[in-house]
Structure 1
């Protein structure tokens, strides 16, 4: 009987493993194909956008050259040069890519061509990986022809500029001749630009069509496989979910009860220590009580951090509008009791008068970063400072807290946001502060970046969405 049950179990287990491997393989395949298909389409769109900028630059250059031809106003020269630099930038990028040149130069010239910086990686990737493929060869041929006409346009411009400056281009016939050449070049370039965009667009449509067919087939396979095992998965998930709810409830109760039970005697002991220090006892007794106070304060801070962490896990984000400046002042004031805090100069640059944010989480972020900066100040420096900046930038809220403290060693930078990680003297902190900051930011869709140099100082750059 036991043998039969074991065999059935092994059969079910084997089927589950087989189905999961099938689903995983299909998922990885479709994700890979989708990734590269989307990358190809994004690259194609970048080139189409680049072509429109190329065309606009060429047409503007032709326009300003025509204006200069008839009016001889030198202001049109700079406008022409600015416009022609766009297609020239794309041309130089192409030439360097064809010769497998420096990518930094390619970036420089693509940016000169007014291409968006975030599109350039995709443009370089498509060129390097598909320059031998048929569709790209056709596009490249059109591009080279257009660049040849741009060179001709530049040569014509040099001729016009030199003659008008020498006073040679005076009669209408000569002006008509140059205007005719400009018009002819403009027509040729417009035709080539249309072919370039049309070819790219057709490739994009084909990629999307093939991707649709492939996705449909793979999704059918995944759905069929999933239906076979879904009953077992749902049943197991239901059991696990019930267990997790119980565990979470017990964990919340444990954190709350433990913190409450510990903080009550801590408060009493701190009061007794304070009174004892005022008594006329020997100096060693005062020192002993002082150490007790410091120990209790660290324990109190540790419990507060656990509570912050627990609340962040349990409580949903609650947005409200408040003035951040007074809250930051309150945090600074609350930390004046810390050792050597009064020797540190606080510099503030608050550019936001009202902020929509989860107020308690905002306080947690500022409180932990200010506390951390004070703990790890550099006592050897005379002009110790902590700088706090709050501003809006590119649709996000930026909070920067920097100092000239002891900094963070390079080998510690990757671990600094891990739970319970402490870089220097463990007595200075629990190792939870920066972990809590990172955890809070994760809850509101924010990020934190670190810039630090050992013995020079640190800067924490925090960003989160502007909820206004």
Structure 2
């Protein structure tokens, strides 16, 4: 169980960046979703606009085609009316009425479209106007949708004026019919009527031409608008796809970098695991081997004083093994337990830690000075206990035996946004060339005094609190450890 926590080191390193990474990835995913949504929306609009445009152009084509039937029927009607004017041929009159039905049907459809009349009546009118059955829905839809648009409104106005001219022609035709019925028409009158028919026919031709031109102008405008809209949406889609491509490329590069970093962390973790297994097995077996040797020698010894000496050596071996096991437990707890933020009373914590270490010393041997400028802080009590326990233990363990007293200085104070903890001793000190390595796993300056885990665990505990630890030492004078922990405010 202990060994597996070595691998947690790489996970702990990653956890510090986990929240930022998750937020960053969340933002990335949101941007990708927005881009995909824009692409889908743009494509949908593009399809809708193109479909609508095709339907508009189809409707315009149907109107132009209907106008050709309207124009042809009007001209044929005028021709048959002229024939009837001069010949009184009933077949010519019937042909006139038949041809007149075409523009009349379109006129009926127009009137009912303006009034919002029944769709079937409107369709019957367009059928009478010889419009194709397949075009009727597009014709009606275009009228209802674009009746207030300038180009189409102009075309409808021309259509209405043509129907009014056609009404005047019908009135003239009725006068001709009445005159023939009463045999009251002179040659001179026929020529005047002919001129009037030709004039009305010319006006109708002009209105029909203007109707077609209005629709043609509208179709050209629609073509221009369609081109602009298509270009706009194509650029939008292209931009979204390009952004998506670059985001995915960036994401792949980032993912590759993260994989490389994780691989590096795994290599470090595996190296530490190998080192831990080797050193732990050695340090666990070494006291046992020593005990076995001392027991074998003690069994051969008869002198009580020598036996006591061997027992003291055995005791030292057991104390060393107990310390090593304690260090492993601290290492495990530091790796395994989550940070638990709580209010920590400093005086109580210090007293509990000191009680574990100075009970074997007399008051004259150890002098402890405390300068506590703060009563409590909001932190993790387990990590603080590990930090104080290891640093105080080291101060006592590496005391200078040539000095009369072991002096230990404990200082707690706040500075700006940080808590500062200083632990200073007057011990043997640490050589300058060793200062850079004292926080490495299993690094020891004296194999008889330490396991090499204490300061390593201390540094890990400080980093778990998002803090830093530094050391200053002078050989023969003592060592000062300074821990800086970010201040966390919590409402009481």
Higher relative contact order (CA 8 A, sep 6+): 2
Please state which band the TM-score falls in when normalised by the shorter chain: 0.3 to 0.5
TM superposition score normalised by structure 2: 0.44
TM superposition score normalised by structure 1: 0.46
